[in-house]
Amino acid sequence: LSACFFHHGLSLDVPFPSSHEATVALGSLSPDREPRKGGISKQLTVSGSTLSVRWSADEARILRVSVSSFLDHLSLVLETMQKFGPPVSQ
C-alpha cells in the first residue's frame, strides 16, 4: 500500500494604480479565511502597487474552489473601487 500526495500551487499578481489601492484591496480580501481547515493555504501580500496571492493545496479541486471564490471577491472589490473612485488617503 502506498500513498501519493500531490501538491498544487498558484501565484497571482494583481497590479493596482497605486500602493494605497493595493493596500485597501488587501484589507478587504484578507479577512476571508478558507472554509476548509486543512489542505489549503493562501497568503496575500502587497509590494508597491501589486497585490500578490499565493495558494498551496493538497488537491487541485480545493485549489480551484479557493481561487474561484477569491476571484469573485476580487471582482467585487474592483467594481466597488471603480464605482466610488480611488480610496482617500488618511
Instruction: Output the pTM of the full model.
Output: 0.81
d(CA 70, CA 74): 6
Q: What's the order of all strands across the beta sheet hosting 40-47?
A: 8-15, 50-57, 40-47
The span from the first CA to the last CA of the chain, in angstroms, equals 60
pLDDT for res 8 = 87
Residue ranges and CATH numbers for the domains of the chain are: 8-84 (3.30.310.50)
pLDDT for res 37 = 65
pLDDT for res 39 = 85
d(CA 3, CA 25): 40
> Which stretches of the chain score pLDDT less than 50?
1-5
Task: Kindly state the cell numbers that stand for 34.
Answer: 478558507
